[in-house]
């Protein structure tokens, strides 16, 4: 039976509302409404008690003058420069390795993906211990190479790098799996044809594999950039933003402002700025990469 004609297709399934209702009600209450409410609160002055007082753009003016906000946005940029290439390159290399199908590949795949499934305190604490200046295994291993103790999490110079190392370990799973899936979809015939034409492995990678991976690269970069702009949990657990704000992030600043200093209006304003930044970065990326048929494009 073909889906018989236009009449059938045009009929409205009223039961659709019953189906989506269960999802839509909590979705509106706990996602859409808070976003709108947060948008309003950003233009007010509000402590946890009392009522919000409309202050127009004052919060935003203050945010642009606030050196801690600037510091937090700069840190997020630095996190991006460490984590995005780290995760992207390692994810690709690990996927290429596992995709060879050599012995124990499945075991290697398990190792590479496993950190993704554990929670922030696990990541944070195990790395705090491993990066301990005196007794951590990272510094003890470096000492064997003659490299002096690095104060990973306790100096303003290194704390951001220390948190980035843990983040790369944590975040790698998704890009790794996406690259692996993309590699498995490259038709084997293409490699055979390339081999017949006398292409060596490097050339096969350059002319067969890489072109097929382009949509995945853009997907991975987009997802990781957004994830990194939202970095919080590992920062909170590992350094709580310190020392002296050197590893703080925008969400960490929002958290401190809202919970510790209880400036809800100001915290919401900074949230709006972050949302704006994410939107801007995403749009720029989509313009630069111009990949149709992937991510949002494919879903829509």
Partner 1 sequence: MARARRLTVAARARLRSRHLRPLDVPVWLLGMLVAAAWAAPFVWMVSTSLKPAGQVMTRTIEWLPRRVVLDNYATVLRYPVATWALNSVVVAAVATALGVLFGAMAGYALARLRFPGRRVLFGLLLASMMIPGEITVVPMLIAFIRIGWASTYQALILPLVANVLSVYIFRQFFLQFPAELEDAAIVDGASRMTVFWRIAFPLARSSTIAATVILFTLNWNSFLWPLLVTFDEEMKTLPVGIAAFAPSVGTHTQLEGYGAAMAAITILSVPSLLLFLLLQRYFIEGVKGAGLTG
For residue 44, give the DSSP letter.
E
Indicate whether 65 belongs to the interface with partner 1 (CB under 8 A): no
The secondary structure of residue 148, as a DSSP letter, is: P
> Do the Cβ atoms of 63 and 269 come closer than 8 Å?
yes
**Residue 78 CB, nearest approach to partner 1 (Å):** 19
What is the nearest approach in angstroms of partner 1 to the Cβ of residue 13?
4
From 162, 168, 194, select the one nearest 93 (Cα to Cα).
168
| Binding-site size, partner 1 (CB under 8 A) | 110
Q: Which of 75, 99, 209, 224 binds partner 1 (CB under 8 A)?
A: 99
Query: Applying CB under 8 A, which part among 61-69, 102-110, 192-200, 205-213 lies near partner 1?
Result: 102-110
Say whether residue 236 binds partner 1 (CB under 8 A): yes
Q: Applying CB under 8 A, which of residues 59, 110, 187, 192 lies at the interface with partner 1?
A: 110
**Cα dist from 161 to 102, 164, 167, 203, whole Å:** 33, 5, 10, 35
Q: Footprint of partner 1 on residues 143-202 (CB under 8 A)?
A: 169, 173-174, 177-178, 181, 184
Spell out a b/e string for 42-78, using b for 16 or more CB atoms within 10 Å of the CB, else e: bbbbbeeeeebeebeeebbeebeebeebebbbebbeb
Select the span of 53-61, 62-70, 122-130, 189-197 touching partner 1 (CB under 8 A).
122-130
The answer to whether 6 contacts partner 1 (rule: CB under 8 A) is no
In this structure, are residues 59 and 271 in contact, taking their beta carbons and an 8 Å threshold? no
Distances (CA, A) of 288 to 143, 213, 285: 43, 17, 5
What residues between 35 and 64 interact with partner 1 by CB under 8 A? 35, 37-38, 41, 48
- Footprint of partner 1 on residues 206-225 (CB under 8 A)? 219, 223
Q: Which is nearer to partner 1, 38 or 68 (CB)?
A: 38
């Amino acid at each position: 039976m073909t889906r018989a004609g236009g009449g059938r297709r045009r009929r409205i399934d009223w039961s659709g509302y019953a189906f989506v209702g269960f999802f839509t009600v909590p979705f509106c209450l706990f996602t859409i409404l808070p976003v709108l409410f947060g948008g309003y609160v950003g233009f007010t002055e509000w402590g946890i008690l009392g009522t919000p007082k409309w202050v127009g753009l004052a919060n935003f003016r203050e945010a642009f003058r606030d050196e801690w906000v600037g510091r937090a946005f700069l840190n997020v940029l630095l996190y991006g420069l460490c984590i995005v290439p780290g995760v992207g390159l390692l994810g690709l290399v690990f996927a290429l390795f596992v995709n060879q199908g050599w012995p124990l590949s499945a075991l290697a795949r398990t190792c590479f993906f496993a950190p993704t499934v554990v929670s922030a305190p696990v990541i944070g604490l195990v790395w705090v211990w491993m990066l301990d200046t005196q007794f951590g295994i990272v510094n003890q291993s470096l000492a064997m190479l003659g490299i002096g103790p690095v104060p990973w999490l306790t100096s303003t110079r290194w704390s951001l790098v220390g948190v980035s190392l843990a983040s790369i370990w944590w975040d790698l799973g998704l890009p790794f799996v996406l690259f692996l899936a993309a590699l498995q979809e490259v038709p084997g015939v293409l490699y055979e044809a390339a081999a017949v034409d006398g292409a060596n492995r490097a050339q096969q990678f350059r002319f067969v594999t890489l072109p097929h991976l382009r949509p995945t690269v853009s997907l991975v970069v987009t997802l990781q950039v957004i994830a990194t702009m939202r970095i919080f949990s590992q920062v909170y657990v590992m350094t709580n933003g310190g020392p002296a704000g050197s590893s703080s992030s925008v969400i960490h600043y929002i958290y401190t402002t809202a919970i510790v200093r209880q400036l809800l209006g100001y915290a919401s304003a900074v949230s709006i700025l972050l949302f704006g930044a994410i939107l801007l970065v995403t749009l720029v990326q989509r313009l630069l990469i111009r990949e149709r048929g992937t991510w949002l494009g494919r879903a829509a």
